[in-house]
Amino acid sequence: MAYHEGELEVQARAGVASPRIGVRDAIPPAAAELLAAQRVVIAASTDAAGRIWASLLTGEPGFARAVDWQEIHITPAAGNEVFDGDVGLLAIEFATRRRMRINGRLRHEDKTLVVETREVYSNCPQYITPQAVAIPTLARPSKGALLDDEQLAFIRAADTFFIATAHPETGADASHRGGPAGFVQAEPERLWWADYPGNNMFNTLGNLAVNPHCGLLFTDFARTLQLTGTASIEWDGTERAVAFSVEEVLYTT
């Protein structure tokens, strides 16, 4: 995998060597099989105003499928809005703690999201907590600029969330974050969390080192809480935390 300047900067600051990860631009049979078995895909995309969002897409197995070696079709039964252009996808199977990342370009064709893949690779299962997955019935989201008490309680009780980031040249990325309930601290206009050791690729932090705009998604599969804003990396030696400033809140129940 060729790392961009932000990923290399964070790897050096953390004191780790650049890991060798097998990345393809095509979809191998094992990846196609894993994708087709999933009921959950997380998408990272950028709206017309330049804001980055992490979005939930759900459906019965087969709603996301590879139609050839470099094209994926997604027809969600429920989900948040996803925008055309650079997209990062995360297919995650909570029961087996398997996950796969797919980055590429997205376009809408009627009710189908069509993704042309640029990068396809697997991730380790660290910090994935089993979840009961359901297909939610989502109404129109309510909008706000700050988190209210109900939303703060939702975040503080979470053991899982998703983060969307983007690099101006290499595109969008969707990633998972997990930990014990309470690992994300929250105030009405600000969130922060410790960045736990992982696979040392630093795709997310590397993107943030170059482009601080990002989106967060919290969900219990009955509701979604989407936040967009900016984030900064706070270093203490080689340890780090992430501080997120809220710009807009979408709460869908």
The angle at the Cα of 215, spanning 153 to 23, to the nearest 5 degrees, equals: 125
Rounded to an integer, the average pLDDT of 219-243 is 96
Sheet strands side by side (includes 85-93): 64-68, 71-74, 112-123, 98-109, 85-93, 40-46, 52-58, 78-79
Examine the pLDDT at 123 and tell me if it is beyond 70: no
Tell me the CA distances in angstroms from 208 to 15, 133, 188, 229, one per residue in order.
Answer: 18, 29, 22, 12
Distance, in Å, from the CA atom of 175 to the CA atom of 54, rounded to the nearest integer, reads: 9
The residues, any chain, with a CB within 8 Å of residue 206's CB and separated by 6 or more, are: 3, 4, 6, 7, 8, 9, 10, 11, 167
Top mean pLDDT of 104-108, 135-139, 237-241 is at 104-108
- Mean pLDDT rounded to a whole number for the chain: 93
Distance, in Å, from the CA atom of 13 to the CA atom of 200, rounded to the nearest integer, reads: 11
Distance, in Å, from the CA atom of 126 to the CA atom of 98, rounded to the nearest integer, reads: 9
Task: Give pLDDT, residue 158.
Answer: 96
Confidence of residue 127 (pLDDT cuts 50, 70, 90): low
Tell me the CA distances in angstroms from 158 to 2, 102, 181, 187, one per residue in order.
Answer: 33, 25, 5, 14
CATH code, domain with 206: 2.30.110.10
Considering its fold, how many domains does the chain have in total? 1
Examine the pLDDT at 126 and tell me if it is beyond 70: no
- DSSP state at residue 203: H
Amino acid identity for residue 217 in this structure: L
Rounded to an integer, the average pLDDT of 79-104 is 91
Beta bridge partners of residue 108, listed in sequence order? 113
* Residue 210: CB atoms within 10 Å: 18
Examine the pLDDT at 37 and tell me if it is beyond 90: yes
Top mean pLDDT of 20-24, 120-124, 132-136, 166-170 is at 166-170
pLDDT in tens, 241-251: 999 999 999 99
Examine the pLDDT at 21 and tell me if it is beyond 80: no
pLDDT in tens, 129-157: 767 778 888 888 999 999 999 999 999 99
pLDDT in tens, 184-218: 999 999 999 999 877 888 999 999 999 999 999 99
Task: Give pLDDT, residue 98.
Answer: 82
The total number of residues shown for the chain amounts to: 253
Residue 145: give the domain boundaries.
5-252
